[in-house]
Structures are given as structure tokens and as C-alpha cells.
Amino acid sequence: MADSLTDPDPGPEANTSGSEPGRTFEWLARFVHPDDDPRSGSDIVDERTVLIEFLRNQRLTFQLKCDGLDADQLARRPVPPSTMSLLGLIRHLAEVERGWFRRTMAGQDAPKLYCSDDDPDGDFDGAVADSEVVAEAWRAWRAEVDFAERFVETSDLGVQGRQRKGNTIVLRELLVHMIEEYARHNGHADLFRERIDGRVGQ
């Protein structure tokens, strides 16, 4: 997965101040031109390819929603009283990837990155406007996605993982769940991004 995605000049409509942004639908206000979109479909319709490609595209969509923003914008909480932010979502999704693929599926002893019993919302609470915090969050997310992709590549869809309470889940079910997880948070990210600078995208 690429570390950064093309972010064209947002044009004069972009809003970089704290004022209320306007909605912009022109091509310059979108994240990428369709010809440059890193997401892809597939002519292969077997179950494995469909699940992998849908999850890959959801991950890329999330990355697109965050692309081109500075630390202050990523840490902004646009819909109070919610503490959610794009930076918080990066950290949250790193935790989700880590929990499901390292702990549940691979059986690793992988402690949580940001959350604890004392601070169960540490992924969002600790999402502060600091460039080092942003860089670390992206490193963590990419590391967890890389692990997940390698695990899926070498595993049968029927392989089972054991959850903390003893329940089992098979990989194909987990992939569907992860698509759902990203789709839900991409909906949040759509609204957050529009509130931050008025930009909308695919």
C-alpha cells in the first residue's frame, strides 16, 4: 500500500481557516481524478478476491479521506460533543486491525497500542495535534495493515481465530466484518473531511 496518495491542488474553493467550509463538487475539489484513483475493481469474482479487493478499497478510501491534511486538521473534532477525529480514526483502526489479525487470528500476545482499562478511549483521547503523534499513528496503522495483508495472503478463508471470550471466528467472516468496520468509519470520515475544508470525494 502506498504511503501517500496523490492530492491535487484543491483550488481556490478550499478552506484552510477555521470558518465554516462551503460544499464543493468540482473536480478540483475531489481527492483524485478517476484516472488516478488507486482503488480498483476486479474481473475475477471468486470469493477470496472479492473479499480482499473490497477491504483493500475500503482501506484506500480511508487513506484518501485523510490525505493532504496537517496535524491540526487531522486532530480536529468537527462534530462535538463527540471526541472523534480523523486522527483518532487512524489510531482506532490500527487498534482494530491489530486486535483482530494479530491477537484473534494469529494468536499473538500483542498489547493494545493506545487503549487501556483506565482509558478505553485512548485511541481518540490521545489524538492530539502534534506532527509526531500523526506520524506514529500512520506508522502503526500501516504496520497493522501490512501484517493483516500478509496473514490473509497465506491463510485459508476457513481458518479459525479465537476471541477473548472463547468464541471463534473464521477468516472469511472477519474480512466481511472489516469491510463493514471501514465502511462505517469512512462515512464518519466523509463528514469530518467536509467539515474541515469542504472537500468531498469518492
Higher pLDDT, 202 or 96: 96
Assess whether pLDDT exceeds 80 at residue 2: no
Residue 188 in grid coordinates: 464518519
Beta carbons within 8 Å of 73's beta carbon, 6+ residues apart: 86, 196, 197
Higher pLDDT, 25 or 45: 45
What pLDDT is recorded for position 201? 72
Higher pLDDT, 164 or 146: 146
Longest dimension (CA), the chain: 55
166 — pLDDT class (breaks 50, 70, 90): confident
Assess whether pLDDT exceeds 80 at residue 19: no
Q: Which amino acid is at 78?
A: P
Please provide the average confidence, as pLDDT, over all residues in the chain.
86
Assess whether pLDDT exceeds 60 at residue 29: no
β-strand 160-162 against 168-170: which pairing, if any?
Answer: antiparallel
Q: What is the DSSP letter of 12?
A: T
Q: How far apart are CA 17 and CA 29, in angstroms?
A: 16
> What burial class does residue 77 get, using C-beta atoms within 10 Å of its C-beta: 0-12 exposed, 13-18 middle, 19+ buried?
middle
Q: What are the sequence ranges of the domains in the chain?
A: 27-197
Residue 58 in grid coordinates: 475500503
CA 166 to chain CA centroid, Å, is 27
Higher pLDDT, 31 or 97: 97
Percent of the chain with pLDDT over 90: 72
Under 8 Å between Cβ of 93 and 141: yes
Within 26-85, where are the H helices? Answer: 47-66, 71-75
Beta carbons within 8 Å of 106's beta carbon, 6+ residues apart: 147, 151, 161
Report the first-to-last Cα separation within the chain, whole angstroms. 18
Q: What is the pLDDT of residues 32-88, one digit of tens each?
A: 666 666 666 656 679 999 999 999 999 999 999 999 999 999 999 999 999 999 999
What pLDDT is recorded for position 164? 78
Q: How far apart are CA 4 and CA 142, in angstroms?
A: 11
165 — pLDDT class (breaks 50, 70, 90): confident
* 151-172 average pLDDT score: 93
What pLDDT is recorded for position 28? 53
Assess whether pLDDT exceeds 80 at residue 21: no
Beta carbons within 8 Å of 175's beta carbon, 6+ residues apart: 51, 52, 55, 152, 157
CATH superfamily of 27-197: dinb family like domain (1.20.120.450)
Percent of the chain with pLDDT over 70: 78
Assess whether pLDDT exceeds 90 at residue 3: no
Cross-strand bridge partners of residue 162: 168
Q: How far apart are CA 155 and CA 133, in angstroms?
A: 33
Query: Can you list the positions of beta strands (E) in the chain?
Result: 160-162, 168-170
